[in-house]
Amino acid sequence: MSFDGCTPRCSPLSSPWRRLGEEEEGTSYLERWRQATLVINAIQRFKCNSEQCVQMTSQSSPNSPSRKFRLGTNVIRAIFRFKEAGKLAGIDRKELVTLVADHNLELLEQLGGVDGLAKALSTSTKNGIEDEVPKIERRRLLYGSNTYPQQSPKGFLAFLWEACQDLTLVILGVCAVVSLALALATKASWYDGASIAFTVILVVCVTACSDYKQSLQFQRLNAEKRKIHVEVLRGGRRIGVSIFELVVGDVVPLKTGDQIPADGVLVEGYSLVVDESSLTGESDPMSKGLDHPFFMSGCKVVDGYGTILITSVGINTEWGRAMAALTDDISDEETPLQMRLAGAATVIGAIGLAVAIICFSMLFIRYFVEDYKKDKKAVAVFKRNVNILSVAVTILVVAVPEGLPLAVTLSLAYSMRKLMTHKSLVRHLAACETMGSATTICSDKTGTLTMNQMTVIESWVAGQTRSFHEIRGLPDAVTSVIFDGVAHNSAGSVYYTLDRNGVPEVAGSPTEKALLSWGLQLGMDYSTVRAASSIIAVEPFNSTKKMAGVAIKRNNGTLCALWKGAAEIILDLCENWLDGEGTEKVLSSEMVSSIHGTLTHMAASTLRCLAFAIKTYNSMDGRPIPTAGLTFVALVGIKDPCRPGVREAVRKCQDAGVKVRMVTGDNVLTARAIASECGILMPGGLVCEGSFFRNLTDNERFQIVPKIDVLARSTPSDKLLLVKTLKSLNEIVAVTGDGTNDAPALREAHIGLSMGIIGTEVAKESSDIIILDDNFASVVKVVHWGRSVYENIQKFIQFQLTVNLAALSTNLVAAGRSENVPLNTVQLLWVNLIMDTLGALALATEPPTEEMMERAPIGLSEPLVTNVMWRNIFGQVAFSNSSSSFSVKSLHYFRQAAYQVAVLLVLYFRGDQILHLKGSPAQKIVLRNTIIFNSFVLCQVFNEINARKLQKLNVLKGVFQSYLFCTVIGVTSVIQIVIIEFLGKYFKTTRLVIHYWLLCVGIGFLSIPLACLMKLVHVPKKPIFNANWSRRRRRPQHPGTDTNGTCWEWKKWNKNQSRGFEHAVQVEQ
């Protein structure tokens, strides 16, 4: 029996029998032993079964035939396993890595070229590997998976350690330890020190838990961002899989804009050009062919299309090793809003530090002036000064608004998680908040405004519009040319599989699928047509030329150039047309007019028009595919219906002050019809052609751009020019894009939105947000949530500043008049916990409301604290009737901070008399301070409810739809009840009877009607404290413009040049 071909091929370098002292990569070392074990097991089983079979053959027994048969079966199974192991180990993994890394053509030739390599890997260049899970897993075991090790994320203990490094909390912890030590030394009460210590630990744990939770959310979002889906050939079918599921031996089709998912070798390709600058540093793209067949993972396909055979994956590629050393954590990004809030926190913290120093100084001086003489013992003096220091530090803790960055992080993480449910993946945090300020959206048509489900519904062939049956009745000389153009000049494919009962499966882009399906309906046999000719040159489609060509050589030796593309562009290149007999005739002006009439009719019916042309010639002589003297063959109209709900989504944007513009490569008539159907084209709007737009002067462009609703027949450079012009007009621009050439515009715009389905990897990497379902309605959701982020942060700022002012003012005034402050250290730490963590959790996660889309966009440089917020915080706004300017001498309206400070100070200085408190002086002080503390906390509970609506009167609207907000309010209230009723020893409080509870609740609840009254007060639009905080959005003055921004040169040019209205069509009122 022969076993030729079964022995695994192992070079000395790749042998698994290496000394343990030699250097070896960890993963490669393990995989080699697994490979060796697989082969050894197969050999041992074969040897064992063979020996048993021989031994039993020599013996005679009654049941020997069955035993021989059973053992023989095992031998055969062992042989097949041995052969299979030999096949999968037919080439060593290290040789595969070296093959591409060193661009080793000599090794590739030794293996027999790409076909020999495919045979060694037990795969097929035509059909790929077998689509069977066990065999795919075996490949993954032998050659590795297409993943790379990720750096371990920070654990909970790391966040706990970071929270412990807060300087103010460290000081409070030291104070707690000193207080406990003194209490134990003097056998005094240890509740003060224990309360501070416990509260500090609680604050640290809550902060660490919150940060850790946000980190987990960002990790999940990072994982989603790394997911890339690619097409592979498995079992003769083109299927989509995750990039992480690729294995060695897969055959992967590539096209312009794709990212190469793993190292590989070229199988076949046409005009393939690859950008390898990310790995090699070479700025010039590299053409790929027989001389340069190697593809490296992570590079981008700049032009052309083809297929590659995967040879190395994951950590075995240069890209995988580089990525393993990098981190890609979007939670480390700092958004513009976070930077602005960090600056605000610094200023507020400085004010809090000043208040804390003043408070400490007053308490310290008062103690030595009044109380020092009562007890001069060192322990008592030290303990008293520790208590004074802890109060001052606690004031600083409350004053420093560390909750502001937390609120932004919470809001962004919450919004990003919700946007994922709306099919939007945020790649950069800043885009989530910037999108709320967008003033214009430049949207693609195909797939975004339309469904990207294309079907040929009308065609012009041989001089007239014909149905399917009429085309089938034409001579073969006509239909064969159509079939050649459809089958050869296409990046799509047709597969015939048994599981579809002979029904062909069409793969490719939506346009290619529509044309191939049309050809199949006409009776085209795809396999026969492809076999009758061979492709010798390809000119791939791109958005600049707007056409694609292919040169084929028929079996009879005839050379043909086949072109397809934008109908008017193809028509301009034609000199002849093909009649119903398959005869070429001169393309007369009458026939051109007839074709233009059909084209106009199709375009007006919202059909996308493509044309086919052919040219027969003798030889190429190294020249490109000829484009002159073509013969017009056919014109097809492709229907791509508008998405359901897109008109409503466009209307929402317009109501929100966001202008929607459509940028498309379709002709003017088709673009105008689609824009009208979507509601984009408004009365007075312009439909401008790209060639006209790019030839305008700067002055002319500045005047026409605000009127443009549709930019048709545009190129990516036109889109980039439009974005730059809009930005120069102080617009906040969002742009959608799907192609590789859209990358410059996506990067130039304030917010780049790429398409997740039809978008190339280059476009996705250049974007800030990926729209996973390619739906314009999802873009509107991003705008909605972007505005929600900004408004939620404003709500939290108002809430936190109110608490800051009330707490600081109350303790500062009390410290100036008394030896004790009404809010002690433990109480203030609890208030700080409510204000920072719980407040951020409640207000920063409020869902968006419809009212947000009824207001104009908020400028990027608008003040965070608006006049409305200052009115709500300070409770006083005054203005002059003549100038509407800010004045502190006019009307005074007390609310929130002013209201809280007034009530708390009245209770502090006159509470004994007003409430008729009974008991000893010490008991009265404890009861009074308990009422003050309880009233203050309940004021914050109702203050959170007030902060939900900055301007609306009904603050309770939708409150029960926000489950997290209700949970925070409920938890805060329950904990406050527990503190008052059961934790009095730790918080220095006493239990309250029912009428005192009602008093505290009434004081807190009164802030709600007071807020409604305050919202009726008008405030000036001009920022009170700094007019420069507001971005002035005015049209820049350019040469040739008058004071109102009207360009007289444009008026004169528009009047005298009729061509302006040939390419920029204005919609009449």
Q: Which residues pair with 687 in a beta bridge?
A: 710, 1065
- Mean pLDDT for the stretch of residues 185-208: 74
414 in Cβ contact with 844 (< 8 Å): yes
pLDDT above 80 (res 637): yes
- Tell me what pLDDT residue 58 has: 46
Residue 31: band (very low, low, confident or very high) from pLDDT cuts 50, 70, 90: low
pLDDT in tens, 710-730: 999 888 889 999 999 999 998
Please indicate, yes or no, if residue 152 is contained in any of the structural domains: no
Q: How far apart are the first and last CA of the chain?
A: 90
Please indicate, yes or no, if residue 133 is contained in any of the structural domains: no
- Tell me what pLDDT residue 469 has: 67
- The larger pLDDT score, comparing residue 214 to residue 880, is at 214
Percentage above 70 pLDDT, the chain: 78
pLDDT above 90 (res 932): yes
**Are 656 and 666 part of one and the same domain?**
yes
Q: How far is Cα 316 from Cα 16, in angstroms, rounded to an integer?
A: 17
Work out the angle between the directed axes of helices 897-915 and 1007-1014 (0-180°, nearest 10): 140
- Mean pLDDT for the stretch of residues 146-160: 81
Last residue of a domain, one of 68, 90, 112: 90
- The larger pLDDT score, comparing residue 590 to residue 205, is at 590
Find the range with the poorest average confidence among 37-51, 103-117, 554-568, 594-608.
37-51
pLDDT above 70 (res 879): no
- Tell me what pLDDT residue 837 has: 76
Look at residues 844, 852, 754 and name the one whose alpha carbon lies nearest to residue 423: 754
3-state secondary structure of 635: strand
Question: Structurally, how many domains does the chain consist of?
Answer: 5
- Mean pLDDT for the stretch of residues 189-206: 76
Q: How far is Cα 907 from Cα 1048, in angstroms, rounded to an integer?
A: 70
Residue 336: band (very low, low, confident or very high) from pLDDT cuts 50, 70, 90: low
Q: How far is Cα 752 from Cα 782, in angstroms, rounded to an integer?
A: 12
Domain span at residue 751 reads 424-450+644-774
* DSSP H helices in 367-467: 378-399, 403-421, 429-434
Q: How far is Cα 1068 from Cα 684, in angstroms, rounded to an integer?
A: 6
* 559-566 and 294-295 strand pairing: unpaired
**Are 573 and 584 part of one and the same domain?**
yes
Look at residues 439, 442, 434 and name the one whose alpha carbon lies nearest to residue 742: 442
Two structure tokens written together for 341: 């809030």
**Are 828 and 929 part of one and the same domain?**
yes
Residue 301 CB-density burial (10 A; 0-12 exposed, 13-18 middle, 19+ buried): buried
pLDDT above 90 (res 733): yes
Residue 756 CB-density burial (10 A; 0-12 exposed, 13-18 middle, 19+ buried): buried
In which element (H, E) is residue 1064 found?
strand 1064-1066
- Tell me what pLDDT residue 709 has: 95
Please indicate, yes or no, if residue 1043 is contained in any of the structural domains: no
- The larger pLDDT score, comparing residue 799 to residue 84, is at 799
Residue 56: band (very low, low, confident or very high) from pLDDT cuts 50, 70, 90: very low
Max mean pLDDT range (383-392, 422-431, 804-813, 984-993): 984-993
810 in Cβ contact with 881 (< 8 Å): no
Look at residues 154, 128, 311 and name the one whose alpha carbon lies nearest to residue 233: 128
- Tell me what pLDDT residue 746 has: 92
- Tell me what pLDDT residue 1023 has: 59
**Are 749 and 825 part of one and the same domain?**
no
Q: Which residues of 539-557 are buried (b: 16+ CB within 10 A; e: fewer)?
A: bbbbbeebbbbbbbeeeee
Q: How far is Cα 851 from Cα 955, in angstroms, rounded to an integer?
A: 13
Give 740-752 as a 3 state SS string: HHHHHHHHHCCEE
Please indicate, yes or no, if residue 162 is contained in any of the structural domains: no
Q: How far is Cα 265 from Cα 244, in angstroms, rounded to an integer?
A: 19
pLDDT in tens, 616-632: 988 766 678 888 899 99
HSE-up of residue 348 (Cα within 13 Å, Cβ side)? 23
**Are 328 and 350 part of one and the same domain?**
no
Residue 377 φ/ψ, nearest 5 degrees: -65, 145
**Are 819 and 959 part of one and the same domain?**
yes
pLDDT in tens, 216-254: 877 776 777 677 788 899 988 888 888 889 999 999 999
pTM of the model: 0.73
pLDDT above 70 (res 975): yes
In which element (H, E) is residue 912 found?
helix 897-915
Residue 502: band (very low, low, confident or very high) from pLDDT cuts 50, 70, 90: low
- Tell me what pLDDT residue 366 has: 79
246 in Cβ contact with 313 (< 8 Å): yes
Max mean pLDDT range (166-175, 270-279, 499-508): 270-279
In the chain, the amino acid numbered 100 is V
Number of other residues whose CB lies within 10 A of the CB of residue 334: 12
pLDDT above 50 (res 1031): no
Residue 657: band (very low, low, confident or very high) from pLDDT cuts 50, 70, 90: very high
pLDDT above 50 (res 23): no
DSSP summary character for residue 249: T
Please indicate, yes or no, if residue 672 is contained in any of the structural domains: yes
Task: Judge whether 444 counts as a catalytic residue.
Answer: yes
Two structure tokens written together for 792: 């939620």
Last residue of a domain, one of 90, 114, 139: 90
- Tell me what pLDDT residue 1069 has: 31
* 659-663 and 686-689 strand pairing: unpaired
3-state secondary structure of 636: strand
Residue 13: band (very low, low, confident or very high) from pLDDT cuts 50, 70, 90: very low
Q: How far is Cα 459 from Cα 182, in angstroms, rounded to an integer?
A: 95
List the catalytic residue out of 192, 250, 303, 444: 444
Give 760-823 as a 3 state SS string: CHHHHHHCCEEECCCCHHHHHHHHHHHHHHHHHHHHHHHHHHHHHHHHHHHHHHHHHHCCCCCC
- Tell me what pLDDT residue 41 has: 53
**Are 719 and 751 part of one and the same domain?**
yes
pLDDT above 60 (res 1012): yes
Q: How far is Cα 284 from Cα 273, in angstroms, rounded to an integer?
A: 10
Please indicate, yes or no, if residue 1057 is contained in any of the structural domains: no
723 in Cβ contact with 442 (< 8 Å): yes
**Are 668 and 695 part of one and the same domain?**
yes
pLDDT in tens, 439-487: 999 999 888 898 888 999 899 998 888 876 677 778 888 999 999 999 9
HSE-up of residue 94 (Cα within 13 Å, Cβ side)? 16
**Are 316 and 350 part of one and the same domain?**
no
884 in Cβ contact with 1020 (< 8 Å): yes
**Are 272 and 402 part of one and the same domain?**
no
pLDDT above 90 (res 167): no
Please state, rounded to an integer, the average pLDDT across all residues of the chain. 78
pLDDT in tens, 748-763: 999 999 988 888 888 8
- Mean pLDDT for the stretch of residues 951-972: 85
**Are 910 and 848 part of one and the same domain?**
yes
Number of other residues whose CB lies within 10 A of the CB of residue 983: 17
Please indicate, yes or no, if residue 505 is contained in any of the structural domains: yes
> What does each C-alpha distance from 702 to 486, 544, 716 come to in angstroms?
43, 24, 19
**Cα of 868 vs its chain's centroid, Å:** 33
Two structure tokens written together for 1014: 């305050």
CATH at residue 754: 3.40.50.1000
Percentage above 90 pLDDT, the chain: 27
Residue 947: band (very low, low, confident or very high) from pLDDT cuts 50, 70, 90: confident
Residue 611 φ/ψ, nearest 5 degrees: -125, 155
760 in Cβ contact with 228 (< 8 Å): no
**Cα of 392 vs its chain's centroid, Å:** 44
- Tell me what pLDDT residue 697 has: 92
Max mean pLDDT range (192-196, 363-367, 796-800, 994-998): 994-998
Contacts of 790 (CB under 8 A, 6+ apart): 337, 433, 436, 437, 858
DSSP summary character for residue 272: E
In which element (H, E) is residue 495 found?
strand 493-495
Please indicate, yes or no, if residue 1020 is contained in any of the structural domains: no
Find the range with the poorest average confidence among 101-110, 253-262, 800-809.
800-809
Two structure tokens written together for 1011: 């807020």
* DSSP H helices in 585-708: 589-604, 646-655, 668-678, 690-694, 698-704
- Mean pLDDT for the stretch of residues 399-427: 80
- Mean pLDDT for the stretch of residues 172-197: 72
Find the range with the poorest average confidence among 77-86, 411-420, 710-719, 998-1007.
77-86
Last residue of a domain, one of 332, 361, 377: 332
**Are 833 and 745 part of one and the same domain?**
no
Longest Cα–Cα distance in the chain: 123
Residue 372 φ/ψ, nearest 5 degrees: -65, -35
- The larger pLDDT score, comparing residue 769 to residue 203, is at 769
- Tell me what pLDDT residue 165 has: 83
pLDDT in tens, 668-717: 999 999 999 999 998 889 999 999 999 999 999 999 999 999 999 888 88
CATH at residue 404: 1.20.1110.10
Q: How far is Cα 425 from Cα 414, in angstroms, rounded to an integer?
A: 13
- Mean pLDDT for the stretch of residues 41-46: 50
Two structure tokens written together for 582: 């398959």
Q: What is the CA radius of gyration of the chain?
A: 38
Residue 294 CB-density burial (10 A; 0-12 exposed, 13-18 middle, 19+ buried): buried
Residues in the chain, how many? 1069
Residue 895: band (very low, low, confident or very high) from pLDDT cuts 50, 70, 90: very low
- The larger pLDDT score, comparing residue 861 to residue 780, is at 780
Q: How far is Cα 49 from Cα 39, in angstroms, rounded to an integer?
A: 15
pLDDT above 90 (res 263): yes
